């Protein structure tokens, strides 16, 4: 494809965090966060291969993290059932929320980073008011009947995916919850940048593209191997390609329209590449495999 220029490994970071549970770009894509099985979060500049800060304070594996819109806070969820709000510069936890009964699997900020949303194995999604000192969740969503696997927050919606095969969209503006039965365990859900489609990684080894408004299946992407991994997916900055890791250690690029696999990046052969994060505006991709993250991008001519 002419649109897709070949991506190559730009940098490789050895995180020394036992296993990377999640890798996340920050809001503008200059930094990234890695959540490790060593209970720590590390802040990197992947472009320069710089370790900036380590955030320690969780009592168990950190499963997800997100940076705030002004990159001054980090919110992280851990298997120790707590959500921690970190101050980026000091590295100190500002607040610790213990309102959910089980491991926190996913956590997100809202658009203005005034609220953190966390999903847990206890089937609940909790809204945490980051601005005030309130310790209890502002709201608990108990609709899911199984583990929440991922959350996406837009300006007026909260999308949650769950092991109970449902994707739920909470529309705050309308006051409505739309749940779609997908028929398979959803390991990760993301939304296209235009906010019109869900991209749902299912445990049957497919990625399904759904229309948000009608709930209709638009496309299915196959080829990767999901095994039992909670594979994540992403969409590139132009909404033209769907990206997903695989249990085989490859990273797949599919064309969104034709659902044909356009590119395969090999992170580490036969080691599952679970977590990945796409740069919000540019053609960069972060993938995590074991304790190693790789930044993929188009190598410039002068380099």
Partner 1 sequence: MNDSDSDDDNVIRYGTPLEPFEEDELPSKRKFQQPSDQYAVDSHGRRRFHGAFTGGFSAGFGNTVGTQEGWTPASFKSSRSEKAQLSSQKAEDFMDDEDRSEFGIAPRHMQTQHEFSGQKRKLQQRYHDGPIPGEPVLERLLKAVHETAAVRMLRAMGWRPGQGTGDRVTRAEKLRAKQQHKVYGCYMPQEMKPTQDPASDNDSSDSDFDYETLFAPDDYEPYILSHKSDKFGLGYSGLSRHSVLGTLMGEYGSDASSSRSHLVMKEKGKKVSIRGHAFGVGAFEADDEDIYAAEDMSHYDFTLGAATEDKQKKKVKEMGVNVLEGYVRASKPLPQVPFYPPPALPKDYKPAAAGSRRSRFEPSDQPQRDQGLGRHELTAEARGSLLGETPVPKVPDTTTQPNMPPTEDPIAKLLGRNVNFVSNSDDKTELDYIPIKDSEKPISKVFRPFMNNPKKQKRYELYLKDRDSYMKEGDAEMDRLSEWERNREIVEFEQAAKLYKPLTGVMSDRFTHASEPDEALNPLCAVAKSSTNYGLATPEQIDAAKRGLFGVMTRREVPWRPESLVCKRFNIPEPGGARPEATKEDKPKVSYSIFSYLESSVHDKDSFAKEQSKFSGSKSLNTPNTSKEQDKSIILTASTVNEYNKKDNKTASEIKESHTGFTKRLTVAELFLKESEKDLKDKEQGIEVTETIDKFDKMDLYKAIFLSDSEDEVTSNTEENRDSTNTNEFIDVPKNVQRNTSPPRGIFANIDFDELNSWKRNTDNKQTNEKEAASSANVTDNANVASKDVNIDNIQVIEETYGPKIPDNIRKKLEGDNKSEDSNLKPVFRSQSERDKEILEIDSSSSSDSWVEVKSKKEKKKKSKKHKSKHKKSKHKKKSRS
DSSP, collapsed to helix, strand or coil, labels residue 34 as strand
Q: Does 164 bind partner 1 (CB under 8 A)?
A: yes
Asked if residue 148 lies in contact with residue 162, where contact means CB atoms within 8 angstroms, the answer is yes
Q: Does 142 bind partner 1 (CB under 8 A)?
A: yes
228 closest CA partner among 204, 212, 209: 204
Q: Does 207 bind partner 1 (CB under 8 A)?
A: no
CB half-sphere exposure, 36, CA atoms < 13 A = 20
Residue from the set 3, 50, 59, 172 that interacts with partner 1 by CB under 8 A = 172
Query: For residue 252, how many other CB atoms are within 10 A of its CB?
Result: 25
Residue from the set 27, 215, 239, 259 that interacts with partner 1 by CB under 8 A = 215
DSSP, collapsed to helix, strand or coil, labels residue 15 as coil
Q: Does 70 bind partner 1 (CB under 8 A)?
A: no
Q: Does 19 bind partner 1 (CB under 8 A)?
A: no
Stretch that binds partner 1, among 23-31, 183-191, 240-248, 288-296 (CB under 8 A): 183-191
Task: Return the number of the residue (181 or 260) whose C-beta is nearest partner 1.
Answer: 181
18 closest CA partner among 298, 288, 294, 228: 288
Asked if residue 84 lies in contact with residue 127, where contact means CB atoms within 8 angstroms, the answer is no
Asked if residue 264 lies in contact with residue 284, where contact means CB atoms within 8 angstroms, the answer is no
Pattern of binders to partner 1 over 229-258, x per CB under 8 A? ------------------------------
CB of 7 to partner 1, least distance (A): 32
Asked if residue 283 lies in contact with residue 237, where contact means CB atoms within 8 angstroms, the answer is yes
Q: Does 204 bind partner 1 (CB under 8 A)?
A: yes
Q: Where does this chain bind partner 1 (CB under 8 A)?
A: 98-99, 101, 110-112, 114-115, 122-123, 127, 129, 131, 135-136, 138-140, 142-143, 145-146, 155-156, 163-166, 170-185, 203-204, 210, 214-217, 228
């Amino acid at each position: 494809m002419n649109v897709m220029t070949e991506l190559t490994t730009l940098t490789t970071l050895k995180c020394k965090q036992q296993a990377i549970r999640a890798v996340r770009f920050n809001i503008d894509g200059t930094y990234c966060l890695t959540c490790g099985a060593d209970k720590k979060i590390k802040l990197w500049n992947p472009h320069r291969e710089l370790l900036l800060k380590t955030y320690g304070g969780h009592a168990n594996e950190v499963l997800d993290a997100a940076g705030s819109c002004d990159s001054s806070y980090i919110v992280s969820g851990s298997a120790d059932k707590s959500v921690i709000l970190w101050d980026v510069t000091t590295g100190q936890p500002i607040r610790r929320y213990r309102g959910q009964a089980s491991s926190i699997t996913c956590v997100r900020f809202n658009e203005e980073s005034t609220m953190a949303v966390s999903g847990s194995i206890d089937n609940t999604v909790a809204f945490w008011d980051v601005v005030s000192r309130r310790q209890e969740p502002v709201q608990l969503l108990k609709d899911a009947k199984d583990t929440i696997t991922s959350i996406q927050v837009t300006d007026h919606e909260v999308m949650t995916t769950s092991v109970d095969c449902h994707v739920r969209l909470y529309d705050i503006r309308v006051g409505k919850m739309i749940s779609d039965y997908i028929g398979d365990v959803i390991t990760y859900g993301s939304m296209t940048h235009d906010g019109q489609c869900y991209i749902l990684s299912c445990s049957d080894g497919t990625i399904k593209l759904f229309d948000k408004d009608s709930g209709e299946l638009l496309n299915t992407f196959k080829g990767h191997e999901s095994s039992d991994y909670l594979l994540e997916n992403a969409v590139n900055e132009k909404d033209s390609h769907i990206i997903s890791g695989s249990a085989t250690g490859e990273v797949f690029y599919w064309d969104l329209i034709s659902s044909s696999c356009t590119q395969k990046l090999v992170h580490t052969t036969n080691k599952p590449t679970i977590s990945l994060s796409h740069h919000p505006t540019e053609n960069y991709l972060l993938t995590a495999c074991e304790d190693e993250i790789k930044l993929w991008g188009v190598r410039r001519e002068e380099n």
